[in-house]
Amino acid sequence: MTRVLHLSDTHLLAGGALHGGLVDTTAALGHVLESLHRVGPLDAVVVSGDVSDDGTVASYETVRDLVGPFARAHGAVPVFAMGNHDLPEGFTRVLGPTRSVHDVDGFRFVVLDSSVPGMGYGSLGAEQLDWLRSVLATPAPRGSAVVVHHSPVPAPTVLHEGLKLQDPGGLLAALEGSDVRVVLSGHYHHPAAQTLASGLTLLVAPAVANRADPFAAPGRERILRGSGALLVEVDDRGVRSHVLSVPSPGDGEELFELDEATVARIVAESGPA
């Protein structure tokens, strides 16, 4: 069995600054990791994008210094992916290439970069999908997982629908006939799962920074206090995921709500043309 702790959307800032002026995301990540110290042996700790909120070297050093020791203590390899808030200069300087391949005892993690400079939506492009096909052309002994921030799963809110992965069918087509068992993503600040007819499992981890309310009023975006993670287990019988809610003071408290005009403006500025 391959066991993965799947984190996403940590949104760390330099100097422990507050995300949105409201959430100490450095403390939130530390609390999540401390709360999950009994998770047991792991093969990988995956952070599927929006690792940083400001793209600073200091923020990437913080996540490295928090996630790295936790991963080592559980026998795991840390795996990081780029998100739309990440900046490649700081990411690569501290965490490594923006797309990468990790072999963990015969199970392969293929990390893609769906970020588009200066924008909130995701795109992979023909060159990156060709690279993915070339990697997957040789099967791994125990199968593979793809890690990509923007998920091919339909978005749960209007804002994330406007900032979704473009051409998700292109990604899924590149995975057809391969040894990929599961796709690990974030971006939505809300957990989701979908199993395709092919048997491929698509998982979206809850965010560490906060959580999106999928039941906000139509056209609006409502953000609540709360953190979570996924525990993902892959073996010959299939893929299992467990949503891990991490209790903390103020859980469920409304942090802010964006009205229809603000959501529309963000999508116009950060979504695809």
Asked if 105 contacts 34 with a C-beta cutoff of 8 angstroms, the reply is: no
Half-sphere exposure of 140 (CA within 13 A, CB side): 21
What pLDDT is stored for residue 163 in this prediction? 98
Please give the pLDDT value at position 12: 98
Q: What is the pTM for the complete model shown?
A: 0.97
Each residue's pLDDT, cut to its tens digit, for the chain (273 residues) gives 999 999 999 999 999 899 999 999 999 999 999 999 999 999 999 999 999 999 999 999 999 999 999 999 999 999 999 999 999 999 999 999 999 999 999 999 999 999 999 999 999 999 999 999 999 999 999 999 999 999 999 999 999 999 999 999 999 999 999 999 999 999 999 999 999 999 999 999 999 999 999 999 999 999 999 999 999 999 999 999 999 999 999 999 999 999 999 999 999 999 998
CATH of the domain spanning 2-270 = 3.60.21.10
**What pLDDT, on a 0 to 100 scale, did the predictor assign at position 27?**
97
Distance CA 150, CA 112 (A): 10
Domain ranges of the chain: 2-270
pLDDT for position 185: 98
- Tens-place pLDDT, residues 46-73: 999 999 999 999 999 999 999 999 999 9
Distance CA 234, CA 143 (A): 9
Radius of gyration over alpha carbons of the chain, in Å? 17
pLDDT confidence of residue 201: 98
pLDDT of residue 178: 97
pLDDT of residue 73: 98
